[in-house]
Structure 1
């Protein structure tokens, strides 16, 4: 199953994109930098993957792939 999230926001700068998923990486003043990391780990624990593509000034696309089992 593919879940795609996309926006046409400001995008994620390349230097931040490289660190995405690491603990305590945040661009928010009150952020903990744990939300994306925990979400990614949960998806991976269910044999899924997360792929993030972003372009500054154009937006971001996040693809979450999860296996479908019977």
Structure 2
């Protein structure tokens, strides 16, 4: 199963995208930097994968999970 979340914003800068999975990395003044790392860990514990693709035309977050049997 694949879930895609797509926006048409200005995208995520490459240097930020490279660090987005790092615990405690944030660009928000009041952020904890745990949202993406925890979300990715949950997906990976279910044998899935998160891919983030971004350009100046927007960002696509893909969540791939194995089919339930």
Q: Same fold, TM exceeding 0.5?
A: yes
Mapped partners of 2:40, 2:64: distance in 1: 11
Runs of 5+ unmatched residues, structure 2: none
Could you tell me how far 1:17 is from its partner in structure 2?
0.4
Q: How many residues align?
A: 69
Q: Secondary structure at the match of 2:36?
A: helix
Q: Secondary structure at the match of 1:19?
A: coil
Mapped partners of 1:35, 1:61: distance in 2: 16
Write out the 4+ residue segments of structure 1 that deviate beyond 6 Å after TM superposition.
none
Q: Give per-residue Cα distances to partners, 1:13-41, cap 9 Å, x unaligned.
A: 00010111110111111111000100000
- Partner in structure 2 of residue 66 of structure 1: 65
Runs of 5+ unmatched residues, structure 1: none
Mapped partners of 1:18, 1:26: distance in 2: 12
- Partner in structure 1 of residue 55 of structure 2: 55
TM-score, normalised on structure 2?
Answer: 0.94
Mapped partners of 1:29, 1:55: distance in 2: 24
Q: Give per-residue Cα distances to partners, 1:25-62, cap 9 Å, x unaligned.
A: 11111111000100000000000000000113x11001
